[in-house]
């Protein structure tokens, strides 16, 4: 089958799966998730799995880190409390990265934290339990590829074991392995969301992507799958790079690190500021997407204080501006307001996010609705707009200017709430009569 036909079929499949509004509603409302990269790579603070794949360290040296993975200060309840404090509604943890080390006691092989590390226990189960107690959805990151497994095709960037097409018996053995692990995750932990990774090394047919999806949904029809399953997922996942225009899929999330790396690294102190995270988050929800914000705990299970601070500050801001964030829908099209915006689901409340720090004024174009009330969210103060350029004999609305007193401004991102008379109506013309 020609590649372009395969691509079209994959796109149609993804679009079909995305049109499941009931199943996807909690995801659309969630807005914020916390990504957790925790594995043996935190021991030496090396790049997760890629360190040996790119031959920066020998494979044996990399894998020897498992002997230093103690989880001595691991407190899953504290993790869940911090995630809840951030305002996040779901969390995704690396149950197994490309290095093949499982956080749970997998029966498919012996490469796991419970069997080979000083932690000597399933570190996944108590975290899942702690999330459930906080009513936070659980997402299982799972790497389809496994560079440590002897029956997987790839190993390092310039070496491979075999090709799946030429040794089908060996590939079938690997399929049995990863499907066995997925069934363990499904049966033991019942993930609300599967976050696949590593799909780029094989095509959909080789992975049996359709079969994986069918297997998961047969046991949990409400499970959500991310888009990294060769066209058989439910939503798109841009990584690190923020989209300038909204992704085509109805549901999407930006996965973003809090510093420059996914997992913990001693050398990485380039943490984003709370303002940067909050302004990026505002952009995501303004375009109808989610933010999946990553933290990388240390090998002992403690979370870097900088990441704790980011999550707490984000949580304080979310708590203050809750109605503009959670359960909102995408805001204004480009050109009406120079910043992010969201709408209430009935489109009768418009929220404008002033992402420029110390922004004392903003303006809005093309609003046809009468404003019943304008207020700075999180305060009891109203703001009276100034209308500029409205001509009495023209149907074109004037510009609305809002002056925000310094005393009312949020220290990160101020949100202006406009209560509208009726659902949002916009002028989309080119000016004139």
- CATH assignment at residue 71: 3.20.20.80
Mark whether 228 and 184 lie in a shared domain.
yes
Strand partners, 353: 415
Q: What average pLDDT does the segment 323-334 reach?
A: 95
168 φ, ψ to 5°? -65, -30
* 8 A C-beta contact, residue 32 and residue 143: no
Residues 350 and 222 occupy one common structural domain:
no
Over residues 366-382, the pLDDT tens digits come to: 999 999 999 999 999 99
What is the dihedral angle through the alpha carbons of 166, 170, 176, 178, rounded to the nearest 10 degrees?
-80
Question: What's the average model confidence in pLDDT over 271-297?
Answer: 97
Please tell me whether residues 213 and 337 are part of one structural domain: no
End position of a domain, from candidates 285, 320, 355: 320
Domain boundary among 320, 347, 373: 320
Is the residue at 347 inside a domain? yes
For residues 301 and 415, state if they share a domain.
no
Q: How far is CA 21 from CA 13, 18, 27, 237, 307, in A?
A: 16, 8, 10, 18, 33
Residue 199 lies in a domain: yes
Are both 240 and 124 inside the same structural domain? Answer: yes
In angstroms, the first-to-last Cα distance of the chain is: 55
d(CA 130, CA 254) in angstroms, rounded, equals: 25
Is 400 among the domain residues? yes
* Number of Cα atoms under 13 Å in the Cβ half of residue 299: 20
The owner of tokens 């957790």 is 36
Query: With bands split at pLDDT 50, 70 and 90, how would you rate the model's confidence at 327?
Result: confident
Q: Domain check: are 280 and 337 in the same one?
A: no
Co-location of 315 and 334 in the same domain: no
End residue of a domain, out of 257, 290, 320: 320
Q: Name the pairing type of β-strands 290-295 and 253-257.
A: parallel
In the Cβ-directed half-sphere of 188, how many Cα atoms lie within 13 Å? 19
Mean pLDDT score of the chain, rounded to an integer? Answer: 94
- Asked if the structure places residue 340 within a domain, the reply is yes
Q: Are residues 315 and 348 in the same domain?
A: no
Give yes or no: residues 174 and 315 share one domain. yes
The number of distinct structural domains making up the chain is: 2
Determine if residue 288 is left, alpha or beta; phi over 0 gives left, psi from -120 to 50 gives alpha, anything else beta.
left
In a domain, residue 426? The reply is no
Q: Residue 360 sits in a domain of what CATH number?
A: 2.60.40.1180
pLDDT of residue 220: 96
Are 295 and 34 a contacting pair, CB within 8 Å? yes
Q: CB within 8 A of 274, min separation 6: which ones?
A: 309, 310, 313, 314, 317, 412
In a domain, 405, yes or no: yes
Same domain as 400, residue 278: no
User: What is the spatial distance between Cα 414 and Cα 135, in angstroms, rounded to a whole number?
Assistant: 29
Q: How far apart are CA 302 and CA 260, in angstroms?
A: 19
- Residue 246 confidence (pLDDT): 87
Residue 20 pLDDT class (50, 70, 90 cuts): low
- The answer to whether residue 430 sits within a structural domain is no
Residue-wise pLDDT tens digits, 391-426: 888 888 999 999 999 999 999 999 999 999 999 999
Name every residue whose Cβ is closer than 8 Å to that of residue 384 and which is 6 or more positions away in sequence.
374
The CA distance from 86 to 88, in Å, is 6
Query: Is residue 433 situated within a structural domain?
Result: no
Both 232 and 96 in a single domain?
Answer: yes
CA nearest 31: which of 281, 314, 249? 281
Ranges assigned E (strand) in 261-323? 290-295
Residue 82's pLDDT band, with cuts at 50, 70 and 90, is very high
Extract the tokens encoding 300.
Answer: 């002992």
209 and 348 part of one domain: no
Tell me what pLDDT residue 392 has.
83
* Cβ atoms < 10 Å from Cβ of 329: 14
User: In terms of residue numbers, what domain contains 339?
Assistant: 329-420
Q: Over the stretch 173-230, which tens digit does the pLDDT of each residue have? A: 999 999 999 999 999 999 999 999 999 999 999 999 999 999 999 999 999 999 999 9
Residue 226, C-beta contacts closer than 8 angstroms, at least 6 positions apart? 193, 194, 195, 196, 233, 234, 235, 237
Question: Tokens standing for 143?
Answer: 């790497």
Token pair recorded at residue 248:
């085509």
């Amino acid at each position: 089958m020609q590649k372009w036909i395969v691509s079209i079929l994959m796109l149609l499949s993804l679009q079909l799966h995305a049109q499941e509004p009931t199943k996807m509603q909690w995801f659309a409302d969630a807005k914020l998730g916390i990504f957790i990269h925790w594995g043996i790579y935190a021991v030496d603070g090396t790049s997760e799995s890629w360190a040996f794949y790119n031959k920066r360290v020998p494979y044996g040296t990399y894998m020897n880190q498992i002997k230093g993975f103690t989880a001595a200060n691991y407190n899953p309840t504290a993790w869940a409390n911090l995630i809840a404090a951030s305002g996040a509604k779901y969390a995704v943890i690396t149950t197994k990265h490309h290095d093949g080390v499982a956080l749970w006691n997998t029966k498919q092989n012996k490469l796991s934290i419970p069997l080979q590390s000083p932690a000597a226990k399933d570190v996944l189960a108590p975290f899942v339990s702690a999330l459930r107690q906080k009513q936070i959805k659980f997402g299982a990151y799972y790497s389809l590829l496994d560079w440590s497994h002897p029956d997987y095709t790839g190993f390092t960037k310039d070496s491979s074991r075999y090709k799946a097409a030429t040794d089908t018996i060996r590939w079938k053995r690997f399929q049995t392995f990863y499907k066995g692990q997925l069934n363990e995750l499904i049966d033991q932990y019942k993930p609300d969301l599967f976050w696949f990774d590593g799909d780029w090394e094989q095509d959909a047919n080789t992975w049996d992507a359709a079969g994986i999806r069918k297997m998961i949904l047969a046991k949990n029809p409400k499970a959500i799958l991310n888009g990294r399953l060769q066209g058989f997922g439910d939503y798109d996942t841009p990584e690190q790079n923020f989209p300038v225009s909204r992704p085509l899929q109805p549901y999407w999330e930006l996965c973003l690190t809090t510093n420059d790396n996914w997992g913990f690294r001693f050398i990485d102190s380039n943490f984003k500021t709370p303002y940067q995270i909050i302004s990026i988050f505002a952009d995501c929800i303004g375009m109808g997407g989610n933010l999946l914000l990553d933290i990388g705990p240390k090998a002992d299970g403690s979370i870097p204080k900088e990441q704790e601070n980011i999550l707490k500050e984000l949580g304080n801001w979310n708590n203050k501006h809750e109605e503009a964030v959670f359960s909102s829908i995408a805001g204004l099209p480009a050109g009406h307001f120079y910043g992010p915006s969201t709408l209430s689901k009935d489109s009768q409340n418009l929220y404008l996010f002033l992402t420029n720090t110390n922004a004392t004024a903003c303006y809005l174009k093309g609003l046809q609705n009468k404003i019943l009330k304008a207020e700075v969210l999180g305060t009891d103060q109203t703001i009276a707009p100034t209308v500029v350029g409205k001509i009495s004999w023209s149907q074109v609305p004037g510009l609305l200017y809002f002056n925000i007193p310094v005393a009312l401004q949020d220290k990160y991102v101020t949100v202006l709430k406009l209560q509208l008379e009726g659902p949002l109506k916009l002028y989309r013309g080119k000016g004139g009569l």
